[in-house]
A = this chain, B = another copy of it.
């Protein structure tokens, strides 16, 4: 029997404010011509986004703190918190890719604020402190690696190394962070969360394709990124018999078609993508001397991902020998699959069921800050559908009702975790 609060003090998710804030934040860095927005990490536009989110945190009288890598947090303390309590953390990021949608990342941060708002407006303190975070440089457009703020927070990369990162524009991350006024004092990771929840758009087509309202994210794919360089011989297209060719472009194409087979053979668990591909000298009547491509392999199972990498390496060896070319590979990134906390996953599923929202357990195909924070705290994610699976694009879209529904579930999960569930 819970000590039921009077009706006036029930926690209520203010969907209208959430939607308004998503729109308002989405206007910062707007690319007027194409309808998207660009808020690359630590640019002036991203600073403006940070300022706006921080102002909303202050409106809610959250304690605003910034750590040394620029992660921005708003804390709503429990009554018992003397500053040492491990908080329930929610969050995501507000930096964007070039010409992005308005939801990726921002939705998770602003939904976290909506949860804090629900407490504030009901005049109820959380039984455990809650903390809403916007992690620095999740997208990794200007500074590599991506998910940097959460990675540093989880201890996977030293603060100094991160601050010394040189961007694609030649700037040093630490300098840009100081320039925009977000080089904070807090040591990243100093506040270890008791648990971490991230609400996010799916950025994939599965929920929409299956007509399901909510994704209960039980795990996150492992990611293997490689750059492959093929060195063949440039020769004249008209004078070099096929059997004497060492065509780097043909080898690149063979790699792309092999990877499709590899993905097909996996029965759908392994994904393989060649996103970047270029040839040199890139002249119509010259056999490519050199080809460069990137390979993105993903699988939710570490053994299968390793097997895919092995099969790929074996293929490279075979094709290099057959075609008389040199192939070198460089590892760009490697993340093991992450299995989210089963209690949190169960709790999210129960909450969705409680509302009567259709849902399915699923794997996150994209990387998220949650995969980093999972290193230091039980974590899980909630997905809402992405129309057409489109993201990183101005056409990124989730219906308002689905956005509010996702935030409702987030609030409900928080209340359940904090033992403050409402009848």
Contacts and interface: CB of A to CB of B under 8 A. Distances in A.
Nearest to A393: B234
B284 A209 contact: no
A361 to B, nearest CB: 15
Contacts of A279: 275-277
Given A225-B284, A275-B283, A283-B275, A249 B256 contact: yes
Interface in A265-280: 268, 271-279
Interface in A363-414: 364-367, 389-393
Nearest to A268: B241
Contacts of A71: none
A243 B279 CA distance: 27
A296 B282 CA distance: 13
A235 B268 contact: no
B254 A242 contact: no
Contact of A205 (B239, B250, B264, B365): B239
A157 interface: no
A236 interface: yes
A125 interface: no
Interface string A225-245: 100000000111111111110
Interface residues of A, number: 63
B242 A268 contact: yes
A70 to B, nearest CB: 23
A285 B365 CA distance: 11
Given A241-B268, A256-B253, A236 B276 contact: no
A248 to B, nearest CB: 10
Contacts of A364: 238-239
A206 B241 contact: yes
Contacts of A366: 236, 238-239, 285
Contacts of A342: none
A372 to B, nearest CB: 16
A298 B237 contact: yes
Interface in A110-165: none
A253 B242 contact: no
A274 to B, nearest CB: 6
Contacts of A367: 238
Contacts of A390: 235
Contact of A250 (B260, B276, B288): B260
A222 to B, nearest CB: 10
B277 A282 contact: yes
A209 B276 contact: no
Contacts of A183: none
Given A275-B237, A296-B284, A257 B257 contact: yes
Contact of A236 (B237, B278, B283, B365): B365
A225 B296 CA distance: 32
A374 B134 CA distance: 72
Nearest to A332: B284
Interface string A151-185: 00000000000000000000000000000000000
15 contacts: A203-B238, A205-B235, A205-B244, A235-B389, A238-B298, A239-B389, A240-B389, A244-B389, A249-B256, A249-B274, A275-B282, A275-B283, A275-B284, A285-B366, A286-B392
- Nearest 10 pairs of A and B residues by beta carbon: A204-B239, A238-B365, A253-B256, A239-B365, A237-B273, A253-B253, A284-B294, A238-B366, A275-B284, A237-B296
Interface of A: 202-206, 209, 221, 223, 225, 234-244, 247, 249-250, 252-257, 260, 263-264, 268, 271-279, 282-288, 291, 294, 296, 298, 332, 364-367, 389-393
